[in-house]
Amino acid sequence: MIFNHYHHDAQTVLDGSVRLSEHPPIVFITDGGATMQPSLLEELTPVPSPYPIRSEVEYPDVWRLCEQARELAWNPTSIDFSDLREADIPTEVREAGAEWWSLRAWMEHGAVPYGTERLREAIFRHEPFEIKQHITNFIAEELRHHEASFLIANGLAGYQSEPRAEYFKAIIPRFHDERDEKAMSFYAGLAVNTLFEQLSGELLQARYDNARFQSVRGACQLILRDEARHIQFGRIIMRRFFAKLSADDRRLLGDKFAKKLRGSLLNGVYAVVNLPPAERERAGRNRALAAEYGLGATHPDEEIAIIKRGLDQIRQDVAPYDVVIPEIAEVDRAGAAAH
């Protein structure tokens, strides 16, 4: 579908009311000066080969992950959330839990636009089938993590489709900055991202340990199982591509990693440490409340220590490839001060 272009006026496109049978395919779309949606313009990217299909398995280890993904698929709607609905917990705890799991849902969803950009690149670069398949699985999996998270929020006090705090409204849309991704090579970018999967996996493990409700525990476990494959993919990519990176690329990797961690993930996503004081107190208090009642949250006082452990592990993993992750003061110094 993506490779077929049809002539129609821009307004019809915006209406979504195009009847394809009435419009024979042509090579170019002219928009007659009217506004076109950027996605439509992007479809004009020339495709170098009309047969962009590579069926030979180039990365058998990636293909194995794809097969596991098929075997281990799960459905968030088959989790029974009645334990949350029926739980005898105070309203403010329900509210705190709903806020927390709404935030978790937004975080999970952040991986979806990221993933679609990577899938698009993989398709246009004619990457092997298993790479395209893995990224497609990744998108579907992140989407079901998002779904499971908003279902948990719904079981508590209702999913908040938008952040309520002004500060979060500014932060959430900046989870993913495509300019940072485009600055790296395709495989280097994929590997950097899976370093974050490793960190969020550590945090999710702590949230699973915290969860006292069967539905939340089950959801965390299923999400963790998917994340383990995402981390595995990163390790495969690292092994295959990191050794070939230029010194500049290696430096860029460390910098991008640190930038993302400090710029968005410590601003309430992974931890509340970089939030402005009032919001830090409010969000931290709610998070602590959710953790106290076993709703699958991490206490704000524990988060930095978990991130520090994860970060040290990641530094060890990338050190053999001469990738250095610069000091991240909020994490590295907080850890030092605590000892």
Residues at the contact surface with Fe ion, assessed by CB under 5 A: 108, 142, 145, 197, 227, 230
In angstroms, what is the minimal distance from the CB of 114 to Fe ion? 10
In angstroms, what is the minimal distance from the CB of 333 to Fe ion? 28
In angstroms, what is the minimal distance from the CB of 10 to Fe ion? 36
Q: Which amino acid makes up residue 204?
A: L
- Phi, psi angles (nearest 5°) of residue 81: -95, 15
Choose between 204 and 311: whose C-beta lies nearer to Fe ion: 204
Choose between 156 and 220: whose C-beta lies nearer to Fe ion: 220
Q: How far apart are CA 326 and CA 259, in angstroms?
A: 10
Cross-strand bridge partners of residue 25 = 6
Choose between 99 and 197: whose C-beta lies nearer to Fe ion: 197
In angstroms, what is the minimal distance from the CB of 144 to Fe ion? 9
Choose between 99 and 227: whose C-beta lies nearer to Fe ion: 227
- Output the six-digit token pair for 171: 């932060």
Choose between 145 and 260: whose C-beta lies nearer to Fe ion: 145
Give the residue carrying structure tokens 């098929």. 70
In angstroms, what is the minimal distance from the CB of 146 to Fe ion? 8
